[in-house]
Amino acid sequence: MLKIHLDGKGICGVFSRDVAATKVQQVQEAARRAGHPLQCVSEPIE
């Protein structure tokens, strides 16, 4: 949590594109329902 606080982002997993898109959607929906401002995006590995 401190890394995310200091750097503004963190890696929480490495998934295929389809699985990552599904997980992003699930996290965003859960955060919205709970009233949290959590942001979640997927990015390709460099």
Long-range contacts of 31-40 (CB under 8 A, 24+ apart): none
Q: CA 33 to CA 39: how far, in whole Å?
A: 13
- Please tell me the predicted confidence (pLDDT) of residue 4: 85
What would the two tokens of residue 34 be? 């709970």
- Please tell me the predicted confidence (pLDDT) of residue 20: 95
In terms of pTM, does the model score above 0.95? no
Q: What percent of the chain has pLDDT over 70?
A: 100
Please determine, for residue 46, whether its predicted confidence score (pLDDT) is greater than 80.
Answer: no
Q: Kindly list the domain boundaries of the chain, sorted by start residue.
A: 2-34
Please determine, for residue 25, whether its predicted confidence score (pLDDT) is greater than 90.
Answer: yes
Average pLDDT, the chain: 92
What would the two tokens of residue 46 be? 């460099």
**DSSP type of residue 8:** S
Closest CA to 13 of 41, 33, 34: 41
Please determine, for residue 14, whether its predicted confidence score (pLDDT) is greater than 90.
Answer: yes
